[in-house]
Chain A
Amino acid sequence: MSWWRGRHSTLAAGPLTAVCIALALAAIPLLDHIAPWAVAMFAVAILLRLLVSHRHLRLPSVPVKIALLAIGLGGIALSYGGFFGIEPGLGILLILLSLKLLESNTVRDFQVLVLFGWFLCLCGLFFSQDLTRWLYVGAIALLLAAALIRLHDTSHAGTFLRSVGISGKLIAQALPVVLLLFLFFPRGGGAFRPQFSRSVNGVTGMSDQLSPGNFAALTRSENRAFRADFPDGNVPPLSQLYWRGAVLWRGEGLIWARGGASMPVENTSGKLAGPGIRQSIIMDPHGSRWIFALDRPAIIARDTDFQAGGFLQSFRPTIAPLRYTVTSRLENREPGLMQEHRKAALEKPQLISAQVQDLVASWRANAADDRAVIDAALTFFRKENFVYSITPSTYGADPLTEFLFHRRIGFCEHYAAAFATLMRIAGIPARIVIGYHGGEFNRLGNYVLVRQLDAHAWAEVHLKGEGWVRIDPTNVIAPDRISSGSESFLESRAFGENPIGETSTGAAGLREMLREARLAWDNVKYQWDLRVVNYDEDEQRTVFNVVGIGAFTPPVIVLWIAISMMLIFGILGAWLGRTRRERIDPLVRDYRKFCGTLASAGVVREPSEGAHTFAERAAARHPEHARAIRDAAELYIAARYRQQGKAGTSFRKAVRQLPRIRPM
Chain B
Amino acid sequence: MTARETPLSEGVSGRVRVVPNRNTTGLVALLIAMWYAGASQNNGAAYLLCFVVASVALVSLLHSHANLRGLRVSCGPIAPVLAGESHRVRIGAIAASGRRHAAIRVKARGRGESVAFSEISGPRIEHDDLAIAAPARGRFETLKLMASSLYPLGFFSARMALEIRQTRWVYPALEGSRPLPRKFTPARHHGVGVRTEGDDFAGSRAYVAGESQRHIDWKAAARDRGLTIKQWAGEADETLQLGWQDTAGLAHEARLSQLARWIVTAERGGHGYSLEVPGTVIPADRGDAHFHACLRVLALYPGESAT
Contact = CB atoms under 8 A, between A and B. Distances in A.
Contact of A572 (B22, B50, B51, B59): B59
Given A194-B40, A533-B44, A582-B98, A108 B23 contact: yes
A171 B33 contact: no
A154 interface: yes
A130 to B, nearest CB: 8
Given A108-B22, A122-B34, A134 B48 contact: yes
Nearest to B95: A580
Given A152-B151, A577-B69, A577-B70, A141 B42 contact: no
A279 B120 CA distance: 61
A521 B6 CA distance: 65
B119 interface: yes
B43 A171 contact: no
B52 A153 contact: no
A378 interface: no
A324 interface: no
B152 interface: yes
B290 to A, nearest CB: 46
B89 interface: no
Contact of A189 (B39, B70, B153): B39
B66 A577 contact: yes
B187 interface: no
B40 to A, nearest CB: 5
Contact of A119 (B34, B63, B118, B153): B34
Nearest to B119: A155
A178 B55 contact: yes
B26 interface: yes
A111 B154 contact: yes
Interface string A260-280: 000000000000000000000
B43 A320 contact: yes
A138 interface: yes
Given A155-B118, A155-B119, A579 B42 contact: no
B48 A118 contact: no
A178 B65 contact: no
Contacts of A83: none
A122 B48 contact: no
Q: What does DSSP make chain B's interface, helix, strand, loop or mixed?
A: helix
Contact of A138 (B52, B69, B152): B52
B62 A576 contact: yes
Interface in A122-180: 122-123, 125-126, 129, 133-134, 137-138, 141, 145, 148-149, 151-157, 166-167, 170-171, 173-175, 177-178
Interface string A194-213: 11100000000000000000
Contacts of B62: 569, 572-573, 576-577
B102 A174 contact: no
Given A125-B45, A157-B119, A569-B62, A151 B154 contact: yes
Contacts of A513: none
Interface in B23-59: 23, 26-27, 29-30, 33-34, 36-56, 58-59
B207 interface: no
A177 B61 CA distance: 14
Interface in B96-125: 96-99, 102-103, 116, 118-119
B97 A579 contact: yes
Contacts of B66: 573, 576-577
Contacts of B58: 174, 177, 565, 569
Nearest to B54: A181
Nearest to A115: B30
Q: What does DSSP make chain A's interface, helix, strand, loop or mixed?
A: helix
A170 B47 contact: no
A134 B151 contact: no
Contacts of A175: 55
A155 B43 contact: no
A134 B45 contact: yes
Contacts of A320: 41-43
Contacts of B154: 107, 111, 148, 151-152
A155 B56 contact: no
B151 A153 contact: yes
B153 A152 contact: yes
B115 to A, nearest CB: 12
Nearest to B97: A579
B132 to A, nearest CB: 22
A174 B27 CA distance: 16
A534 interface: yes
A383 interface: no
A119 B55 contact: no
A646 interface: no
A195 B155 CA distance: 32
B153 A145 contact: yes
Nearest to B27: A115
A192 B38 CA distance: 12
B16 to A, nearest CB: 8
A125 B46 CA distance: 6
Contacts of B54: 181
B39 A115 contact: no
A212 B237 CA distance: 125
B39 A192 contact: yes
B60 interface: yes
B233 interface: no
Contacts of A115: 26-27, 29-30
Interface string B214-239: 00000000000000000000000000
Interface string A529-547: 0001111100000000000
Given A126-B43, A188-B39, A532-B44, A579 B51 contact: no
Nearest to B104: A154
B194 interface: no
Interface in A374-404: none
Nearest to B102: A153
B150 interface: yes
B55 A196 contact: no
Nearest to A183: B51
B43 A125 contact: yes
Given A125-B45, A145-B56, A187 B40 contact: no
A581 interface: yes
Contacts of B59: 170, 173-174, 177, 569, 572
B49 A129 contact: no
Contacts of B23: 108, 111
Contacts of B34: 118-119, 122
A257 interface: no
A112 interface: yes
Interface string A102-124: 00000110011001001101110
Contact of A182 (B47, B53, B119, B151): B47
Nearest to A166: B152
A185 interface: yes
B200 to A, nearest CB: 50
A129 B45 contact: yes
Given A125-B46, A157-B119, A572-B59, A581 B39 contact: no
A193 interface: yes
Given A148-B154, A154-B103, A580 B118 contact: no
Contacts of B44: 129, 532-536
Given A152-B150, A152-B153, A174-B56, A121 B118 contact: no
A181 B52 CA distance: 9
A137 B42 CA distance: 18
From A129, A167, A170, A565, residue with most partner B Cβ within 10 Å: A170
Contact of A154 (B39, B63, B116): B116
A133 to B, nearest CB: 7
15 contacts: A111-B155, A115-B27, A152-B150, A154-B119, A155-B102, A157-B119, A187-B47, A532-B48, A533-B44, A536-B42, A536-B44, A565-B58, A576-B65, A576-B66, A577-B65
Given A171-B56, A533-B44, A572-B62, 6 more contacts: A118-B49, A125-B46, A153-B103, A181-B54, A569-B58, A569-B59
Nearest first, the 4 A-B pairs at minimum CB distance are: A580-B98, A174-B55, A155-B119, A155-B118
